[in-house]
Structure 1
Amino acid sequence: MKKYIPKIVGFGINSVGILSPKYAAHLSMTLFSSPKKGKTNEKQANYLKEAKQDEVICNGITIKTYQWSGKKDTVLLAHGWESNTYRWKDLIELLKAEDYNVIALDAPAHGSSSGKLFNALIYSECIHAVAKKFNTSAIIGHSVGGMATAFGNYNFPLTQVKKLVLLGAPADFTGVFSRYIDMMGYNNRISKAMGKYVLARFNHLPEYFDAAKFTTNFKAKGLIVHDKKDRIIPYKDGLKFKQNYTNAEFLSTKGFGHGLKSELVYTHILDFLNT
């Protein structure tokens, strides 16, 4: 029964769209931007309490940050959808052992940060604010965190950011939207209304927000990692980044899925940061 719920909800929103496409678009976009999980639980909080905790206010949202101090460069970690800083636990320990100054943030509506809505554009502004405050030299983003990192580096480039790591990142908004629309079973009326909603809210249609193309002229060196068996973000998204991000190296993996939590991946990240 659970697998049919998105289609049932989508049918309801399609029905609303017959009378008011604009309101139906509002409902569909609110649903699209509302994470159902990702808040910090007790086990996670016990680990994170070892870090120095702070807050950054970004567009009225209180962003929770965590710091594990080190003498080397500052590395910022940006998690993905329905996750939080704890997902980086293994990598944090490796970075600490290398004496990096590690900063991580909980995205809007995730972890211990405030807010109810989340998308890559909102997130990109928050990542920028945190990177600026902590004088970050490298940013590692997973999934939507990777897409938001690319958006942020394009819209708000910081000269001190010299390296970017994009793990399983979506290449463009159109792909993300299309997978969401297919999952929910939205009709053409709703999909067109969603495009107009994005235009009104962010001044561009969804196809403008092409993270891979934005990387074309990035000065920061990049490391792109994507798994051939990623069932969340297609492998072709990683290849699109590879094609466009000319100042980046590409690591193709197989068997680590979307999470990319593996010793192999972490070794490549550390090698990339150390060079």
Structure 2
Amino acid sequence: MNLALAAAGTSVRAAAAFSPRWGAAVAMPLFGHVAKPRPVHADDEATLLRARPSAVRIAGIDRRGVDVDTFAWGDGPRTVVLSHGWNGRASQFSVLVRDLVAEGYRVLSFDAPAHGGSGGRRTYLVDWLDVFAALQERHGGFDAMVGHSFGGLATLVGVAGGIDAARVVTIAAPADADLLLSQFQGMLGYSDAVAASMRERFATRYFPGEPDPLAWLSGVRRPLPGGVPLLVVHDHGDRIVPFAEAGRVVAANPGAQLLATKGLGHNRILTEDAVLDAVLDHVRTPLVDVERVEAERVEVAELGAVAA
């Protein structure tokens, strides 16, 4: 544990000694805080420099407005959106960007608030959703969305909530926001009483009037709309997001495919050839007309009943 995290945990626990609500009040601002942005890796610089940069303005977690850096590559008629995770940035997708552009796709990505070159110091999942909506307003429906880690959860929540995406891929993604709150509790070492107060404060602060925001921020309790093909990629040895999260997402989304890897961890999985090939195959796969298939199934059943 680093010194800053240890000090934060000490502060929360000291406040909690007087009241769980006090402890939650100290912990809450820390929950959305993002560490200093990671630099662009040398292997990713050339791809990032070839992007067409732009920006969108969203409300931000504090609803005061924040500018978000966006990037576009290629000019194909089909659009794929790539969504990075917590403490990540768009440049992490450089290998996948090159592969998708070579396949004729237009690729969009972004640095979420407090990440990469974007403004702000705090953020949460609602910001990802606002960026998705802004990109959709500008570019229309998405042929596919690919999300890594926290960005994978945001993608599941976004599409379940109405973002128009024909296909979805999650890579090393948690199944719901409750896991993140539990991990935060583990890092700072505060009590279950403080955790309960944190959940209450979180709901009141960011989702006023929403009876159960953690149900809303879940890829399990709010699965994707029927007919949206889903590929779930996860490594058995992921130390950031447990592999069991993949099983939860797959179980909640009938027909989802699972690609389980070994030895790639949480981040290296983004550049593995087998993973890239699977993502490309999933994005290229023709969509099934679910309504037509269901209508044909009913028609066959009715004919069988008449014949009987």
Q: What TM-score, normalized to structure 2?
A: 0.81
**Counterpart in 2 of 1:11?**
10
- Structure-to-structure mapping, 1:190-229, within 5 angstroms: 190-201=194-205, 202=207, 203-205=210-212, 207-208=214-215, 209-229=217-237
**Counterpart in 2 of 1:68?**
73
- Specify which of 147, 153, 163 is matched with residue 157 of structure 1: 163
Q: Does 1:246 align with 2:254?
A: yes
How far apart are the structure 1 equivalents of 2:213 and 2:192? 15
Q: CA deviation at 1:177?
A: 1.2
Q: Which residue identity does 1:210 align to in structure 2?
A: S
- Specify which of 82, 85, 88 is matched with residue 90 of structure 2: 85
Deviations 1:165-191 (A, max 9, x none): 111111012222112101210112321
How far apart are the structure 2 equivalents of 1:176 and 1:211? 13
Unaligned runs of 5+ in 2: 60-64, 286-308
**Counterpart in 1 of 2:62?**
none
Is the alpha carbon distance of 1:93 and 1:45 closer, same or farther for their aligned partners in structure 2, counting shifts above 3 Å? closer
Deviations 1:111-149 (A, max 9, x none): 122222122233222223223322222111000000011
Q: CA deviation at 1:4?
A: 6.4
Is the alpha carbon distance of 1:39 and 1:254 closer, same or farther for their aligned partners in structure 2, counting shifts above 3 Å? closer
Q: Does 1:29 align with 2:28?
A: yes
Residues 47 and 98 of structure 2 are in contact (CA less than 8 Å); yes or no, is this contact kept in structure 1?
no
How far apart are the structure 2 equivalents of 1:123 and 1:237? 20
Is the alpha carbon distance of 1:6 and 1:148 closer, same or farther for their aligned partners in structure 2, counting shifts above 3 Å? same
Unaligned runs of 5+ in 1: none
How far apart are the structure 1 equivalents of 2:3 and 2:49? 39
Residues 3-12 or 260-269, more deviating? 3-12
Q: CA deviation at 1:204?
A: 4.4
Residues 12 and 188 of structure 2 are in contact (CA less than 8 Å); yes or no, is this contact kept in structure 1?
no
Residues 213-222 or 230-239, more deviating? 213-222
Residues 198-207 or 57-66, more deviating? 198-207
Aligned-pair RMSD on alpha carbons?
2.1
**Counterpart in 2 of 1:142?**
148
Q: Does 1:107 align with 2:112?
A: yes
Q: Which residue identity does 2:171 align to in structure 1?
A: L
Match of 2:101, SS? helix
Q: What TM-score, normalized to structure 1?
A: 0.90
How far apart are the structure 2 equivalents of 1:205 and 1:37? 32
Match of 1:231, SS? coil
Larger radius of gyration: 2
Q: CA deviation at 1:58?
A: 1.4
Q: CA deviation at 1:267?
A: 0.3
Residues 160 and 224 of structure 2 are in contact (CA less than 8 Å); yes or no, is this contact kept in structure 1?
no
Q: CA deviation at 1:88?
A: 0.5
Q: CA deviation at 1:29?
A: 2.4
**Counterpart in 2 of 1:49?**
49
**Counterpart in 2 of 1:176?**
180
Q: Does 1:125 align with 2:130?
A: yes
Q: Which residue identity does 1:186 align to in structure 2?
A: Y
Tell me how many residue pairs correspond in the alignment: 272
Residues 53 and 65 of structure 1 are in contact (CA less than 8 Å); yes or no, is this contact kept in structure 2?
yes
Match of 1:95, SS? helix
Q: CA deviation at 1:206?
A: 5.7
